[in-house]
Each structure stands twice: as structure tokens, then as C-alpha cells.
Structure 1
Amino acid sequence: MSPLPAPPQRPPSGTLPQRVLLVENSRAFTSMLGHEIRTRVELPVTVASSLAEAGRLLERFDDWFLVLTGLVLADGDRDAVLDFFATRNLPTVVVSGVYDEDLRQRALARQVIDYVLKNAPGAVDYLVWLVRRLERNRRISALVVDDSPSARAYAGGLLSMYGYRVVEADDGASGLLAVEKDATIRLAVVDQEMPGMEGVEFTRRLRAIRARDRVAVVGLSGNADPTLIPRFLKNGANDFLRKPYSREEFFCRISQNVDQLELIGTLQDLATRDFLTGLPNRRHFLENSERLLPKWLSSHQPVAAAMLDIDHFKHINDTWGHEAGDLALCAVAASVSGHARPQDLVARFGGEEFCLLVPGLDAANADDYFESLRMRIGQLRVPVGDTALSLTVSIGVCRSGDPSHDSLHQLISEADRRLYLAKAGGRDRVVSHG
């Protein structure tokens, strides 16, 4: 395996660079690709048609994330273009109009992420996907588990080049400990031949603490044993690469598996979250509540269930329109979410109703909790056209303790009854008794 150049250095602050530099002398291509990246990935794109112009732009701004460059420029040949960006340690993708195998090999031997033919069918879509993938990678940690320092450094260098935060471990036990400590690890690249714990066993143990929808595992081995691939897969691996592997194969396999993780996360969000407000939906809330409520009650924690309803919501829709109603729902959802503690369960229950399950508060603190939530929402001013919409809510609260109010159904039903009392009593109030 050939050594890799040093990966680009991350900025010391928590703000990640965003700007994409597109270097190309074809105005039609830069216009089309720049537009697609701006609209579909929502990153700023700056265009240069020469190395001199690119140099001035690099000096002017310091928040460069990625370079997409052609190789036919008026002031530089192919090697000059490659050297120009390699010496500046910038993540670079080469976009070429012709396929040249020798050039492709020379480009990939440097700090170049990919070599893409711009005239190939789907090239623009691929480049947009590539930019999006590289941008998202910067928020993902990747674990490399290999007892060989050189093999570990090679895989880690590739992952760093693709933007991942790399965590290295020289044996299976250290790798498992790293996963337990770092929740941002979403990818593990694992060698089979390691002393103490082989890769298949590491994968089996990893799956006991991280499911397939949390961490993707890619097994590695130079062993020709035909049983190794099915053993890895049956013990929880997502994919397998045989050593030695090419950089392009490594990148494609890694990206495909991370894409699948994100797709699973998107599908889970669609199934568990309310589309409009982003809060958990009723089904997800009830499933989590049924799981957690018995634990809280068995440990003698008081639990308060609350039903919250936006006052005069039909009047808002009828007077201001349904778009204003949606804005009101989102504003209230944001207040509920911002008010909730990490241990609290919240959801949009349906329509203009929200539900909360709040553990660990005695009667006085529970009253303060919901009263402060009511006041917080009452201070909202939702911009609608040239004016601002004020909102109030009514809240019904039921606390555990009464034997007739210790099931989830009983708590929510009683909270709903008290919500009705709050409405009947004039709205804009919390009712926790009666």
C-alpha cells in the first residue's frame, strides 16, 4: 500500500469550512454544477477559470471546504494544476473531460479524493452526491481496528481524506472501549487477523452494544479463506473488503454503507416524528412511555402526564389561514421541546394537541414546570405577514400516586379531562387538580 499525503487539517474552532471552489474554464459546466451544489447541498460555490484567479480567491477567504478542478486551464498544465492544490493541502476532486489512465493514477497518488469524468452520463448528479457525502462525513467518526500500524495508518489516512474524524485502535478490546465512549462513531473498519480478538469476534461483540442502524461495520482481510466473508456477515458486518483494496473501491464501499445508515435514519424519522413540527409523533411517544413509565414508577419516581392544547386554534386558521396555523404549531412545538428536560417525553399528539410525560418532580415543582411552560408560550410572537400572532395554551396535568392513575392510559385520560376543565374555566391556564 502506497503512503498517503497528510490529511487536511481541521480548523481549531467548532465551525466547519463551507466554501466550495470550482476551477474550470467551461462556463456552461461551472454554471450548471455550481447551481446544483448551491441549491441541492446548500453550500456556497465560488468559480475560478485559472490558477491565478484560484490563488487570489484562496488568499481572500479562509473557509474553503473542497476544490473541484478541471485540468485544462490557460495558465497551468495537468501536473501544475495537481501540484497547485496538493501543496495547499486542500481536499480536491479532479473533474476531467477525457479519460487518461496514467493521469488518473497520478492524480489518485496525490491528495486527490476522486477522479470524475465530467462528460459521463450522470456526472453532475454524482458530483453533487460526492460534495454532499464529503460535507456530511465531517460530522461522523470512523473507527479503524487493526494491529498493524501501517495498515491502520493507511485506512485511517483514507478516511481522513474523505473527511471522517478517525479513531484508531490496535486491538479488539480497545476498539470496543472506543465505541462505548464515543457516540459519534458510526463506522468501524475491522481487520480479521488480530491477536486476542479476531475481527469476526469483535463484530459479534460490537453488535451486542450497537445495532446495524447505529454503526456500519466493514471487515478487512488478506486471507483467502472462502468462509470468512459469510462469517463476518452472519456476525453482523455490513460489508467486507479483501486486502489489498484500491482507494476507489474503499471509498465506494464506505460511502455506500454510510449512505445506507443515513437512509435508515431518515426512514426512522419519518416513522417516529411529526412531519410538520419535528417532535416525536403519538405512536413513538406511546411506545417509549409504555417502556419507561413502569421503570419510573417501580423506582418510586413521581410522574406527571400533561395534555396541552393551543387556545382558539380554529380561529387562527379561519382568520389568518392554515399557513399561520402551521407557524403557530411549529412555534409551540419549539417551546415545548426547548422547555423539556433530557429525561422528559414530549410529542405532538394530533391537531393542536401536545402531550408530555415528566418524571421526578414533586407536586410543587410539577406545578411550576407547567406554569412556566404556559407563560413561555404566552410570550411567543409568531410573525404572520405584517403583524405578529400571540398565542395562549391550556394545560391539563395528572400526577401519579393515586392507584387509579398509575397506568399510562389512566394518566393521559385524566390529564385530558383536566385539559377540558382548563378550557371550560377560561383557557390560558394549568389545571392539575379536580
Structure 2
Amino acid sequence: MKKLNVLIVEDSKPILQIHKHLVTKAGFNPVTAETFAEVKALEHMFPDLFCAIIDYSLPDAPNGEAIPYLLDHNVPGVVMTGMIDDKTRDTILNFPVIDYITKESKQAYTYLQHLLVKLRVNHLIKVLVVDDSVSAREYIKHLLKRHNYDVYVASSGEEAMKQLELHPDLKLIITDKEMPNMDGIELCNKIRSKYSKDEMSIIGISGQGNQSLTAKFIKNGANDFLTKPFCLEEFYCKVLQNIEFIESLDTIRKQANTDYLTGLYNRRYFFEQVSPEIVKRFDGSTNSTLAMMDIDHFKSVNDTYGHDAGDEILKATALLIQQHFSADYLAARIGGEEFCIFLDTLGRDEATLLMDNFRQEMENMSVEVGGNTIKCTISIGITHCCEKSFDGIMIKADELLYEAKESGRNIVITD
């Protein structure tokens, strides 16, 4: 991945070193300037800057002059200051900065690193802003864009629901309370009929001074609430907290459902997803296709080259499986060197051809580990049948896999 440049404007050498370390750790390339004059000398690099970390007070720019200069040259800025008085804070926040951080504790630098990491990936996070006021809608959109979020807008509750259909992977919805036809609370109810709080966050916003609105929003499905006019710092903190809440749950779900080594789905998740489908199809007399695969002579790989080499073979096999099947079919590592592919209702002949193509690619694959080139083959059993339980279809596929092993390995056997 290409490293992006972050300009560090700081006259204190110890703090400059800390910032360089944090910037590098966040995956960026640090570029430094210790004076306002040095900042100006770097103007040719401005188009290549991801953002700047700007010290408020410099020897030749004691009153924050570097801030508007960089912002006017389209360099987004995070301001660091040792002054924590309200006047300095208000001066900084009058500029369209990404954020400002006071140099008052170690936590400030931890926050800075976290902010840089989030700024780099926020373009992957979809946020919907719902407000019938154009100016309010655009203002919130502008604030979110400062933090690089992928922002969508809607002028009504009805339009918001349409956006939700187009973008079901939205992570956060920020909705105003006062809207015609469908207000923000009604919208919360509509959204919660489709998505739980674990899947999508909602922040309600209102200009009304009614204290009960917070409770109304929360009771009707919102995760959080803001009163207009809101404090910028509170806005960004609530946005970040609500998105990170959803991301944390996504991570927990992924860890619970996937195999730690290969990244494929695990046995439990595979069984949970496929079992109901098998039962449903039995009632309708519909055939399902299941392939079970086992890496040939895997124990000898571990015995000859070590378990680290065995792990590399498993990961390489999983990657090949993902490339072949993950887009259309459900694939899982169900234990040891054994993998399973649910091929849905794919016909027997098509499944055999598909799996044999995979077998040939596996045969041609080589993995370099510790100076050794390791090649492996795979045996595959495929069943195309109608069973009343998942165990039943698994037993049939497993029997065919055993037959493939007994027939000399590196072969596909179909019923």
C-alpha cells in the first residue's frame, strides 16, 4: 500500500519525535517543519499531503497563522496546542479543522494516533444525513466530509428509507426530528423494523429544547441524541463512538464466525447457515450440492516441514477457495485440513467440472516456506441429493470423500 505523507509542524524537538513515531505507526510518511517559513518552503509538496498536524504557536507564527495558511492551500489540519483557554479553543474551531488536541497528557497523543488511523479508513464508512433543511443537511455533511466519511443525504424520512435500500451497509444515520410526513422518531421505528442497534447506529438531532426528546428517540430505536446547535467536539465524539460500537460488534461477529487461521467461515457458522436450507429443501424435494475436500498427505507436510509450513499450506488453500467460491457459494474450514463448500442447487455435472478445475489449480499450486517449495493435492467428494438433515448430506459427501482417498487421492468423486 502506498504510504501517504503527513506534514508535522512542530517547533519542540521532543514532541516532533513523538509525532513522527505516531505518524509512522499509523502507516503514514512523516514530513516535518519547525517554523512557518519551513512550512511555506514545502508548498510544492502540498498536493501530496494527506493532512497536517499543526502546532498552534510557532516561533515566527505565534498566533496560529500556519493554520489558515495550510487550510487555504487545501491541506486538512489537526491542530495541537499547549494552550487550553476558551479563547484559543474558539479561535481554532472557527477554522474548518479536522480536530484540535491539547498537549496536556499522554492520552492526547494516543488520541492523535487513533484519529490518523480512522481518517485513513473512514472513506469506507457510509453515513446518511436526514434533514428537510438544505442548510442543516449540507452543514452536517460538510462536518462528516472533514473526517473523510462517505456521506449520503436525504431530505425526508421516505427518501431516507430509499437510500437505505440502496445502501444497506450504512453504519450510521443522523436524522433530524422535525420533518414533514415522517419525522425522525417515526424514521427510527421504520429503520429498527429492518435493522437492529447491533447492525446500524442512529443519532437523533433536534433544535427543540424539550428534554424528553432524548428519551423518546432512545425508546424508539436511536442510539444517541444531539441538541442543536451542538458542540463540534461532542458531534465528532458521538459520531466516532457510535461507528466504533458497530465496528466492534462486526469484529466480534467475524471472530465468532470465522476460522482464526484461514479467514474462512468456521464449522459452527457453516452448520447454522446451511442446516435450515437443507431442511427447507427436503420439504420441497429439492436437491442440494455439497462438496467436502481434504488435503492429501497433510500429516506428512507437518512431519517433514513443521506445523508452520502446514499452516501456510492451509492458508494458501483457503485463499484459493476464496478466489474460486466465496463470491457465489458458502465455503468453510470444518476441521484440520478439511474444507466444505455448499454449492447450493448447482447441478451434478456443473459441480463436478467446477470442483475438478479447483483440484487442478491446487495440484499446480506451490508454497514457499523456509526455503522449501511445497506442493499438495486435494481429494474431493460431491453429493447432489435431497436429505432431511444437514448431517445426512454431510455423511453422504464424507463417504464420497473417503472413496476419493481410497481411489488414489487427487481425484473428484461424485454420487
Into which bin does the TM-score normalised by the smaller protein fall? Answer: over 0.9
* TM-score, reference length from structure 2: 0.94
Match of 2:372 among 362, 387, 398: 387
Structure 2 residue aligned with 1:414: 396
Alignment partner for residue 9 of structure 2, among 20, 23, 34?
23
Q: Secondary structure at the match of 1:410?
A: helix
Q: CA deviation at 1:397?
A: 1.3
Q: Distance in 2 between matches of 1:431 and 1:214?
A: 41
Do residues 351 (structure 1) and 336 (structure 2) align? yes
**1:228 CA displacement:** 1.9
- Classify 1:397/1:58 alpha carbon distance in 2 versus 1 (closer, same or farther; 3 Å): farther
Q: Does the 8 A contact of 1:133 with 1:255 survive in 2? A: no
Equivalent position of 1:34 in the other structure: 20
Q: Deviations over 1:123-149 (max 9, x none)?
A: 111111111222222211211111112
Contact 1:71 1:96 in 2 (8 A): yes
Query: Which of 190, 195, 215 is the matching residue for 1:230?
Result: 215
Aligned with residue 264 of structure 1, among 249, 266, 271 = 249
Are residues 1:217 and 2:202 paired?
yes
- Tell me what 1:107 maps to: 92
Compute the displacement of 1:174 (Å): 0.4
Asked whether 1:342 is paired with 2:327, we answer yes
Counterpart position of 1:253: 238
1:425 paired with 2:415, answer: no
Structure 1 317/86 Cα, relative in aligned 2: closer, same or farther at 3 Å?
A: same
Q: How many residues align?
A: 415
Cα 1:149/1:320, change in 2 over 3 Å: same
SS across alignment from 1:261: helix
**How far is 1:395 from its partner?**
1.1
Provide closer, same or farther for how the CA distance between residues 148 and 179 of structure 1 changes in structure 2, counting only shifts above 3 A.
same
Measure the CA separation in 1 of the matches of 2:39 and 2:283: 65
Instruction: Map 1:5-404 onto structure 2 (within 5 A).
Output: 18-39=4-25, 41-57=26-42, 59-60=44-45, 62-294=47-279, 302-340=287-325, 342-401=327-386
The answer on whether the counterparts of 2:404 and 2:411 sit within 8 Å (CA) in structure 1 is yes
Judged with a 3 Å threshold, the aligned counterparts in structure 2 of structure 1 residues 79 and 291 are, in CA distance, closer, same or farther, namely same
- Cα distance in 2, alignment partners of residues 392 and 98 from structure 1: 66
Distance 1:318 1:360, change over 3 A: same
Q: CA deviation digits over 1:360-404, x for unaligned, max 9?
A: 321211110110111121121111122321111111111114xxx
Q: Secondary structure at the match of 2:65?
A: helix
Are the structure 2 counterparts of residues 196 and 17 from structure 1 closer, same or farther at C-alpha, using a change threshold of 3 Å? farther
TM-fit CA distance, 1:315:
1.1
Structure 1's unaligned 5+ residue stretches are: 1-14
Alpha-carbon separation, structure 2, partners of 1:17 and 1:186: 27
Q: What's the offset of the Cα at 1:297?
A: 5.9
Alignment RMSD, CA only?
2.1
Q: Which letter maps to 2:154?
A: A
Q: Which one is further off, 116-125 or 347-356?
A: 116-125
Deviation at 1:294, TM superposition (A): 4.3
> Per-residue deviation at 1:203?
0.6
Aligned equivalents of 2:138, 2:195: Cα separation in 1: 25
Question: What amino acid sits opposite 2:89 in the alignment?
Answer: R
- 2:164·2:170 contact (CA, 8 Å) conserved in 1? yes
- Structure-2 separation of matches of 1:62 and 1:276: 40
Q: Which residue identity does 2:385 align to in structure 1?
A: S
